Structure 1
Amino acid sequence: MDAHSAKDPKDATDTTNATTPHDRTGTLDEALQRLHTTGPERDGWLSNHAPMVAEALAARGQAAAVHRWLDTYADKLEDFPSPVAPVTDANWPAALGDPRRAADWITYFSHATAEGSWRDLLALWWPRLLPGMYGGATLPVIRVGHAVRALLDGGVNPPRLTELAHGLGYWAARHQPVSGVTPLPGPPDSPATARSALDAVPPVPRLQGGFTERLARVGQLPLWSDEVSDPDTARRRLAELVRATTHRYATHGHGNATMLVHAATAPNAVLRTLPALPRGLWVPSLHAAWTASAAVTAMYAPEEAVPYVPAPRGITGDDFLELALAHGEEHVIKLTDTALDVADDQALAAALRAIELSAPINS
């Protein structure tokens, strides 16, 4: 399929004023338009979390808080980057993984989403991008997952298509495969659970350095779900992985309060995207999500776990989101969003743990 194929009729059924069930005000679309003049990163490598937080708040019934939160985050936004040279259907391999080409990639996908079916475009590019989901500390795939949820839950309109283009373009620019990882035998329980497999991940030697330096030290990861070949089983296992990584944050998040959020939110982004993908892509999506979660677990594992502290009884899901919003830190809000998907006591305890470990946005 060419990236500029004819528009699919099912994508054209709702192209104006589409809103999510939780955002009937159009606030999300206003926020996305506001943010699309900004770049995907700041300071050369830190990700712009604002579109993801805006979508999470709108999807959870907090649209009224979106612009107020964006105002607090505004100092962390940079202008949209300058283009280098156009990305085309012929030359894209040479531009893949080049962060200097972020504007070129976003422009390419913006044209493609405007001219063709976004689902077909996603089906074409997902397997191309999936091996490089570690780039940008997994933030690009997380941004794509939020964009897809907005499209699936609320329908198709220009701001949401443009947001998908920004997410895919960021992913293509930061595309970074992982290599040299030796598979280890899985944990002895049969079948191995996601939690036992995460517990069996060998931590990398403790070192200073950023994500890329730590990723290069990941040498061994346990096998988990590599035998899965059925799409429905892959989807169930992916949901299990999201639950296990979210639960684990409650006892291991102090290894790195920010980065270990991604061990849960990256596979959840993949899980949210599955309904928009052909079923044939579900199994490789599971395998890539496991490798990403396991690698982040290895890179930021604490020396010891802390005891699990249950969340206080009587606090509702809305209460947890209000607490996260009052705290304001972007990773706290996004982990709370994932914890509300998991929707059990330990997941909500993980959300509270993130609030405890993270500095508030205005600190």
Structure 2
Amino acid sequence: MTDNDTSGRLEEALERLHASGPERDGWLTNHAPMVVESLAAHGQAGAVHRWVDLYTDKLEDFPDRVAPVTDDNWREALGDPRRIADWTDHYSRALAEQPWRTVLATWWPRLLPGLYGGATHTVIRVGHAVRALEADENAPRVTELAHALGYWAARHQPVTGVAALPGAPTALTSLDAVPAIEPGHMGFRDRLAAVHRLPTWAGDVTDPDTARARLTELVRAATHRYATHGHGEPTMLVHAATAPNAVLRTLDALPRDQWAPSLHAAWNASAAVTAMYGPEEAVAYAPPARLTPEEVLERALAHGDEHVIKLTDTALDFGDDLALAAALRSVEMSVPLAG
């Protein structure tokens, strides 16, 4: 399923949402741009305005500007959440002057080490923006990329000092080998600071095509694993799959020499989320019925929760029984969007 909608509803929704900031309550992410792109990409553009209507109470006004980000001072502004508007302006100017792939190729390696910012929603929003542009390049979609990159730059958050543990042959067994953090930590940033050890996986990969294959393996494994491990934290463990999938979706828009570094960053992010929220034990899960991908998407849309829709979006990239089971599991465990 691809974005072949010509109604302009996605563009209308993006223009509507660009009056809102990327966060609310000082930290929580605005998921609406990502969700409406997911719906449009899977033939549900007609539902985007109804969904945004239900989500409106979670939107806040776009933040105020502080001072312009320039080619000379951007390093000082990186990772400063007060500068969201300034960063968005910076990327808007850059995208008005250069093709979007050129801007992305310049900034991707600068931003990639900090993809943990905003609980990985920063890179996830960029992945959705890139997929939309790959399907159809127009002004609202280019503007969405400026907003996504601006959010990432303002919330840029690297992680250092993590010791490498021996890995396992496959992505799935390596995720199984991730040690949990010590109990007692609460929010995402507190938990992330407690990640001190992660297994190495695919660390020797340098070939771009091999990097793509390994990254695909990782996204599939993390998606499948949600079906049996998502109960550890049904909302946050979604990102063990959706964050690396955002990276995977971006590869074709990037120079090939950036693919292997993207794989390594995606692995560390997926493994870190697994360490932060994974349960001690797996729980066997069998969906109540065997459903088609279209039926699973309908259930996710009826449920409405933003993380459910985005995990379903990732599951549909694979479409196998275990991926669809993961999506259904998220429907069962998550609180529906009120409306």
Normalised by the length of structure 2, the TM-score is: 0.98
**How far apart are the structure 2 equivalents of 1:210 and 1:135?**
13
Q: CA deviation at 1:114?
A: 1.6
Conservation of the 8 A alpha-carbon contact between 1:311 and 1:345: no
Aligned residues: 338
Conservation of the 8 A alpha-carbon contact between 2:23 and 2:30: yes
Aligned alpha-carbon RMSD (Å) = 1.0
**How far apart are the structure 2 equivalents of 1:37 and 1:268?**
27
Equivalent residue for 1:270, pick from 247, 252, 257: 247
Equivalent residue for 1:298, pick from 245, 267, 275: 275
Find the residue that maps to 2:338 and give its secondary structure: coil
**How far apart are the structure 2 equivalents of 1:182 and 1:218?**
9
- Whether 2:15 is the aligned partner of 1:33: answer yes
Deviation per CA, 1:180-201, whole angstroms, max 9, x where unpaired? Answer: 10000112xxxx1000000000
Deviation per CA, 1:103-158, whole angstroms, max 9, x where unpaired? Answer: 0000100111122111010000000000000010000100000000000012x111
Equivalent residue for 2:167, pick from 175, 186, 197: 186
State the partner residue of 2:149: 168
State the partner residue of 2:334: 358
Deviation per CA, 1:253-284, whole angstroms, max 9, x where unpaired? Answer: 01111110001000000000000000000000
- Whether 2:183 is the aligned partner of 1:202: answer no
**How far apart are the structure 2 equivalents of 1:289 and 1:158?**
29
Deviation per CA, 1:81-115, whole angstroms, max 9, x where unpaired? Answer: 00000000110000000000000000100111122
Conservation of the 8 A alpha-carbon contact between 1:311 and 1:348: no
Conservation of the 8 A alpha-carbon contact between 2:287 and 2:329: no
**How far apart are the structure 1 equivalents of 2:6 and 2:254?**
26
Structure 2 residues not aligned, in runs of 5+ = none
Q: CA deviation at 1:312?
A: 2.0
State the partner residue of 2:325: 349
- Whether 2:214 is the aligned partner of 1:214: answer no
Q: CA deviation at 1:310?
A: 4.3
State the partner residue of 1:10: none
* Alignment of structure 1 residues 4-43 onto 2, 5 Å: 21-43=3-25
State the partner residue of 2:100: 118
- Whether 2:123 is the aligned partner of 1:141: answer yes
**How far apart are the structure 2 equivalents of 1:21 and 1:32?**
15
State the partner residue of 2:65: 83
Conservation of the 8 A alpha-carbon contact between 1:137 and 1:211: yes
Find the residue that maps to 1:22 and give its secondary structure: coil
Q: Which runs of 4+ in 1 moved over 3 A?
A: none
Q: Report the residue type matching 1:185 in the other structure.
A: P
What is the identity percentage for the equivalent residue pairs of Structure 1 and Structure 2? 70
State the partner residue of 2:138: 157
Find the residue that maps to 2:249 and give its secondary structure: helix
Find the residue that maps to 1:183 and give its secondary structure: strand
**How far apart are the structure 2 equivalents of 1:41 and 1:310?**
34
Conservation of the 8 A alpha-carbon contact between 1:242 and 1:342: no
Normalised by the length of structure 1, the TM-score is: 0.92
Q: CA deviation at 1:175?
A: 0.2
State the partner residue of 1:14: none
